[in-house]
Structure 1
Amino acid sequence: MVEGKDDVSAVKRAVDADVIITSGFGINDSIMERIRQAAKKRGVIIFTDPDFAGERIRRTISEKIPGCKHAFLPRELGTKDGDIGIENASPESIREALLKVKTEVRRERDEFTMDDLIKNKLTGSPMATKMRDIVGRELGIGYGNAKQFLSRLNRYGITRDEFEGAIQKAKELVE
């Protein structure tokens, strides 16, 4: 499930998949029903642009249709000449994002807390933004501010081992 026609073309260059277009914020009842039916029959991967609008569309669909899977494209891999979107990503970047797909857990856990983010320099540190970017990419949950990032860690079932491995890799890249 993507936002626009150009996104469909980009995804189809990368993988052989059925794709539903939301037409951005214009998700009408008929589109929502198509997504709901696809989710029941085969499952749905929400793959929206790495921007505010994409996150809002992702949240809207996820709230109305529980159990969707989520793929996140790092912002810099979907940006071309100041335009942000799936349509700007290479086939390799799209495949990588789809390989790291995450399933939203039915009930958000509290495995991770803000203390974990502080302790690992993911918030309250001059390098927090860069660290969240790298860790989010490694875990396949995308970039977000500290509050969004904490929610994604718990919502997408990230394990402590996965988290610590991503933190270690980020530290190596930042230092």
Structure 2
Amino acid sequence: MIKEVIVVEGRDDVTAVKRAVDAEVIAVGGFGINAKVIGRIKEAQKRQGVIVLTDPDFAGEKIRRIIAKRVPGIKHAYITQKEGSKDGDIGVENASPETIIRALQSAKCEIKDKREEFNVQDLIFFGLTGDNKAKERREALGRELGIGYSNSSQFITRLNNYGITREEFIEALKRIEIGEK
């Protein structure tokens, strides 16, 4: 699995990257990049490192510059316009898995073992799934840990991929429980 979190523009890019490699991926939503997304990217950079892989066009380069300006120390992966072109459309979503792998390797991505510290039983035990307040608790905990809101399955993946320790998890839960009272 790729250690760094890959940052792309949109959902189709996420699909293309996940077809090529096993990695945590953040989609910025094009120019809709906001403080919440930048916060997630900063947290990802702090915990695992970040590789930005945007479309080889003006918009992609602008998004890349915005991220690089706000999040120091990130890595950059590039594909060419030719590699990302299909039927007149240019984007990461059009690149072959081999092209994406080459771009990530050129960015000096690191490989790590897949981590499975957390599982669905943890979410059930701590009321993060299967409970009428589970969604709100996941949202609060995601905010507290800097990994954002997601459904139960994706939450487990993020906890593991971001390297959250059991101690961090418990401490963050304690802080949100204090806020609930």
| TM-score scaled by length of structure 2 | 0.56
Q: 79, 84, 89: which one pairs with 1:78?
A: 84
Runs of 4+ in 1 over 2 A off after TM superposition: none
Q: 25, 36, 56: which one pairs with 2:42?
A: 36
Aligned to 1:94: 100
Q: 61, 64, 71: which one pairs with 2:67?
A: 61
Shift of 1:70: 0.3
After superposition, what is the alpha-carbon deviation per residue over 1:28-84, rounded to whole angstroms, capped at 9, x for unaligned? 111010000000000000000000000000000001111000000011000001100
Shift of 1:102: 6.0
Alignment of 1:1-175 (within 5 A): 1-101=7-107
Larger Rg over CA atoms: 2
Q: Percent identity between the aligned chains? A: 60
Instruction: Tell me, in whole angstroms, the C-alpha distance in 2 between the residues paired with 1:102 and 1:80.
Output: 27
Equivalent AA in structure 2 for residue 62 of structure 1: A
Structure 2 unaligned blocks of 5 or more: 1-6, 110-181
Contact 1:70-1:102 at 8 Å conserved across structures: no
| Number of residue pairs matched by the alignment | 103
Equivalent AA in structure 2 for residue 14 of structure 1: A
Instruction: Tell me, in whole angstroms, the C-alpha distance in 2 between the residues paired with 1:74 and 1:98.
Output: 13
| TM-score scaled by length of structure 1 | 0.58
Equivalent AA in structure 1 for residue 72 of structure 2: P
Contact 1:48-1:58 at 8 Å conserved across structures: yes
Equivalent AA in structure 1 for residue 103 of structure 2: A
Shift of 1:24: 0.3
Task: For CA contacts below 8 A with separation 6 or more, give which structure has more relative contact order.
Answer: 2
Q: Indicate the RMSD between aligned Cα atoms, in angstroms.
A: 1.2
